[in-house]
Amino acid sequence: MAELKIVTMSKLKSENVSWLWEPYIPCGKISIIQGDPGEGKTTMALAIAAAVTTSAPLPGNGVHNAPASVIFQTAEDGLADTIKPRLEQLGADCGRVHIIDEGEQALSLSDERIEQAIVKTGAKLFIFDPLQAYLGGADMRSAGGIRPLMKHLVSIAGRTGCAIVIIGHLNKKGGKAQYRGLGSIDIYAAARSVLTIGRVSADENIRAVVHNKSNLAPPGASLSFSLDPVCGFTWQGEYDISIDELLGGKRQPENQFAKARRLIENALRHGAIPAVEIMCMAEEQGISQKTLQRAKASLGVISLKRHGQWFWDILIDAIYSECREDSQDGQDGRVTALAILPGGKEAV
């Protein structure tokens, strides 16, 4: 029989929550990324992992932690032909991404190698993809089978300070969001944060992410990302949608950021136009200047000053146009206009 030990709250020192990605993924806790198959859960998780390895910003995260190691444990995709190419495309430092070798023994959530690997690599993020591959034979629908596993994982996260993210699928049943995850409700209960991904836009490449559970802070804004066949994964900013709308499969009207991008693309389709004209069009469509500027930066649009007036244009088209005009003026094809690149840099 265990010896009785009493902990008195007055003797504990209060601590602030530490965040890997505030308020979406806390350090030292379990988080879940869930959604239907093919909706981009793994790609989004890899994008988060890539950002952690390079200290790149994540949406809404103004504070960047130092670059850190990540453990990405997957049972669904090939490491050499799928995971590594995706990480490289996302700009990850692959020298900071690690995998526990399961060649001799399969890994489960109860495995002591999880904590050993976190300590050895100094990982700040551990991702399991997907949950059901790491249950070690336990029935994921049984509270008796799941609770010991989740308790063990919670303990590891707390001791190491590592953010543990579990990727899971949704079941096909209706009802409340907390009952849509596969398996026992104890899985959902153990997580301090849950992010649900779904396809909602008229654009088949856009996914929405809803922060539908947040125990440690107010839920973060719903987000969106693009899975473009050419450009790959790109964060698209905030997206106005609730969890009920997402799970109900309700198609949403185009969000303001996507609307701003479409406006700029259409406006510049045939070449540069005065900036003031685009700003007026945006105002007529209810697009804020802040959103318009974000869309401009995401498209790589530059500002050019011609004859005392500012124009917006695509960089390649703008340089070609300026070279052609200058050549006609006998200036050896030099670009004389000032080009303002994304981030405020100047190109001459």
pLDDT digits (tens, 9 = 90+) for 291-319: 898 888 888 899 988 888 999 987 654 44
> What pLDDT is attached to residue 102?
95
Give 120-137 pLDDT, tens digit per residue: 999 999 999 999 999 988
Nearest one of 338, 277, 260 to 306, comparing CA atoms:
338
Domain topology for 256-347 = Arc Repressor Mutant, subunit A (1.10.10)
User: Is-above-0.75 flag for pTM?
Assistant: no
Give 147-177 pLDDT, tens digit per residue: 999 999 999 999 999 999 999 988 766 555 5
Tell which wins on pLDDT, 61 or 36: 36
> Per-residue pLDDT for 335 more than 50?
no
Tell which wins on pLDDT, 332 or 138: 138
* Structural domain boundaries in the chain: 16-247, 256-347
Question: What is residue 74's three-state secondary structure?
Answer: strand
- DSSP secondary structure letter of residue 241: -
> What pLDDT is attached to residue 174?
57
Most confident among 61-75, 108-122, 180-194, 229-243 (mean pLDDT): 108-122
Q: What percent of the chain has pLDDT over 70?
A: 84
Compute the average pLDDT of residues 21-38.
Answer: 95
What is the sign, positive or negative, of the torsion defined by CA atoms of 5, 11, 17, 18? negative
Q: DSSP readout, 280-320? A: HHHHHTT--HHHHHHHHHHHTEEEEEETTEEEEEEHHHHHH
Lowest mean pLDDT among 240-244, 246-250, 318-322, 342-346: 342-346
> What pLDDT is attached to residue 331?
43
Compute the average pLDDT of residues 235-248.
Answer: 86
Residue 80's Cβ-count burial label (10 Å; 0-12, 13-18, 19+) is exposed
Tell which wins on pLDDT, 105 or 257: 105
Residues 6+ apart with CB under 8 A from 162: 27, 28, 118, 123, 124, 125, 126, 156
How many Cα atoms within 13 Å fall on the side-chain side of residue 76? 17
Compute the average pLDDT of residues 85-112.
Answer: 96
Q: How far apart are CA 52 and CA 91, in angstroms?
A: 11
> Per-residue pLDDT for 325 more than 70?
no
Give 72-82 pLDDT, tens digit per residue: 999 988 999 99
> What pLDDT is attached to residue 320?
45
Compute the average pLDDT of residues 277-281.
Answer: 92
Average pLDDT, the chain: 85
CB count, 10 Å around CB of 248?
12
Compute the average pLDDT of residues 265-277.
Answer: 89
Residues 6+ apart with CB under 8 A from 174: none
Residues 6+ apart with CB under 8 A from 257: 224, 236, 237, 238, 239, 291, 294, 295
CATH number listed for the domain at residues 16-247: 3.40.50.300
